[in-house]
Amino acid sequence: MQQQHFIARQVALVLLGFLLVIITVGAATTISIRTLGDSYQRLEHLINESNSQSILMGDMRDAIRDRMLLVYDIIHAGDPFAVDDLVMTYSSSARRFIQARDQLLEHNLTDQQRAQIEAQKSILGQAQTILNEVVTSVQEERNDGSADRILEAREVNSQVLEQLGEMQRVQANLAQEDLAKASSEYGASRNQILILIFAAFAVSSAVVIFIVSRIVSQGRALQQALDALEEANETLEQRVEKRTNELMSTRADNMRMGAELDVSRQLQQMLLPRDEELAAITDLDIAGFMEPADEVGGDYYDVLHYHDHVIIGIGDVTGHGLESGVIMLMVQAAVRSLTEHDDEVNLIGALNSINTVVYQNCKRMGTDKNLTLALLHYNKGELEISGQHEELLLLRSGKVECVDTIDLGFPIGLESEIADFMHSYKTTLNHGDTAVVYTDGITEAESPSGELYDQQRLCTVLEQHHDRSSSEIVTAVIESVKAHMGDRPLLDDISLLVIQRR
Amino acid sequence: MLINGEGYSAEYIKESGTVRLAGVVRLSSTEEYGEIIKLMESALEEHQGTITMDLRELQMLNSSGITMLSKFVISCRNSNHSATIIASESVPWQGKSLKNLQRLMPALTIEMK
């Protein structure tokens, strides 16, 4: 569409250009022809004028000469009839002279010429008088000194003849001047025509150059626009492709992350002890709670029951995602295999072995992950704990005792050898006493203003609910934590395990 | 060198060989800690004397962050750098973690302020 408009504009421009050229050249030619015609007419008029003036002056001179000659003839004619004829011719030549002079006066003469002609009248009159006397005396057949009178008349006439000759020369000069003037005008006209033609040529060239350059520049602009459009298209294509790749990549990442989280969440949930397993432990009332954060963390807890032994594990793998889930799975399997046998349970030995397993496997996996892990062993009222984790809270007679675990172990999987740091703590769990373990998701839960829930709040809630069942205590603690968080999202998994001796 | 994150900052002060961490750091993986790890490693590369870790303003460091700090202390130990941690008694998380750091590097000096 755009291109059609463009072509139509180009055609219109070319036509306009040609029209301008034709008009310019036509105008120049018309003006030139008219100027040349005027010059020619003026020249013709001048030549005609000059010619007729010369002829009339010549006629006048001829008439004067004829009269002079006729007077001679009249004097020497013997026959009186011949004298009469000659006298008639003499009179007619006088009329010819007057006729020629009158005609000359009608022409475009200079003031000087008119004054001269006027002055000639009296001289001619004088000569006329003399000649008339000579003719009259011849007619009366008197020959009284006619020859002398003729000489006198010739003298006078000669003056007029000279004047007329002079006038003719002046006239010729004037004609020459006019001719020169006309020639120069003609030259000027010619120059004017040349200039006009040159101007027409220049204007036409300018118009043609303008149109061509316009077309070229518009063509170039069009080409540039097309190039820019093409480039923009390419850029757009590249951008679309890049964005598509990004989206695909992001989508792929999200899908991968989503899939990983799903797997992790399932691993986490499927390995939790079932309610019937917990209910089968007659000596203890155990309730557990775990809520994964949106980005599932690495919380782990387990309760294993083997003969009279109850093994409880609680841990927190750093980070989140599939790797954390896999490490958790490793730990769960290792704890079960290392503690479920008939020999005496050795928590420290089990933790050392687990550390080695996790350390080596993390190295193989190329991950920096490690975990805090505490293992508890309950057997007939005796409770032993080993491993570094959050504090063990013992709720006895409505009061909380805090057991620090820092000196009981070391992060699992961080160092290859941790045996030096491993210790255990033993206590007796009396009937009605409650042991509580948890992950830092609880104590580090943030309120909307960023305040941490902390261990103090946890202890207060426990003391307030010391006479309740394990599940009631769990519910009370979780409600308190949720109330503290308000509308804040869960930043980390929260796990809580309450173990009450019946 | 200064990193300003959401709610935290990490700075390496070249002249004194000090790494200063402040605020609440809850980045979710070692990868996300990459920038801070790089900053701390540059301290190890550039500074010959004692490396100082100023953690007084560090209100909160999650387990991935503690792992990062632990690995850094191991690096100090392995590269025979002497190291000092300036900590605050008023920040609860630091007690247990600092003890672990001390265990990783017995020569580590811990100043509680």
pLDDT in tens, B41-80: 988 898 888 999 999 999 888 888 888 899 899 999 999 9
pLDDT higher at A206 or A363:
A363
Looking at residue A460, its pLDDT comes to 96
Are A406 and B103 an interchain contact pair (Cβ–Cβ within 8 Å)?
A: no
Tens digits of residue pLDDT in A244-264: 777 777 777 777 777 777 887
Spatial distance between the Cα atoms of A170 and A176, rounded to a whole number of angstroms: 9
Q: What is the pLDDT of residue A310?
A: 95
Residue-level pLDDT at A4: 65
Q: How does residue A31 score in pLDDT terms, banded at 50, 70 and 90?
A: confident
Q: Which residues of A310-335 are buried (b: 16+ CB within 10 A; e: fewer)?
A: bbbbbbbbbbbbbbbbbbbbbbbebb
- Residue B91 to chain A, least CA–CA distance (Å): 11
- Stretch B20-28: mean pLDDT, rounded? 87
What is the residue whose two structure tokens read 């550390």?
A355
Q: Name the residue among A318, A414, A450 with its Cβ closest to that of B64.
A: A318
CB within 8 Å of A493: residues ≥ 6 apart: A268, A290, A291, A292, A293, A296, A297, A298, A299, A316, A439, A441
Q: What is the pLDDT of residue A144?
A: 63
Average pLDDT over residues A283-312: 89
Q: Which of A368, A402, A442 has the highest number of chain B CBs within 10 A, making it the mutation to test binding with B?
A: A368
Of B62, B71, B96, which is closest to A368 when you measure between CB atoms? B71
pLDDT, residue A6, reads 63
Q: Residue A3: pLDDT above 60?
A: no
Whose CA is closest to A100, among A86, A120, A84, A129?
Answer: A120
Distance from CA of B80 to the nearest CA of A (A): 18
- The pLDDT of residue B12 is 92
**pLDDT band (50, 70, 90) for residue A342:** low
**Whole-angstrom Cα distance, residue A239 to residue A301?**
49
Nearest-Cα distance to chain B for A391, in Å, is: 10
Measured at the CA of A63, the angle between CA A62 and CA A65, to 5 degrees, comes to 65
**What is the reported pLDDT for A430?**
96
Residue whose C-alpha is closest to residue A150's, from A180, A174, A127, A169: A127
Give pTM, 2 decimals.
Answer: 0.58
Mean pLDDT for chain A? 84
- B39-48 pLDDT, tens digit per residue, is 999 888 988 8
- Give the closest of B60, B95, B100 to A411, CB-based: B100
Among residues B2, B73, B84, the alpha carbon closest in space to that of B35 is found at B2
pLDDT, mean of residues A390-418? 94
Helix axes A80-106, A111-139, angle to 10 degrees: 170
Chain A residues in contact with B70 (beta carbon < 8 A): 370, 411, 414
A493 in contact with B at a CB cutoff of 8 Å? no
Question: Of A316, A415, A454, which has the smallest distance from its Cβ to B63's Cβ?
Answer: A316
For residue A90, give both structure tokens: 């003499």
Shortest Cα distance from A491 to chain B (angstroms)? 9
Please answer whether residues A317 and A324 qualify as being in contact, where contact means their C-beta atoms are separated by less than 8 angstroms: yes
> Of A320, A334, A327, which Cα lies nearest the Cα of A262?
A320
Three-state secondary structure call for residue A315: strand
Length of chain A: 502
Q: Within an 8 Å CB–CB cutoff, is residue A253 touching chain B?
A: no
Gap between the Cα atoms of B97 and A405, Å rounded: 12
The DSSP secondary-structure symbol of A406 reads G
Enumerate residues 70 to 109 of chain B having a beta carbon within 8 A of any beta carbon in chain A.
70-71, 74, 92, 95-96, 99-100, 103-104
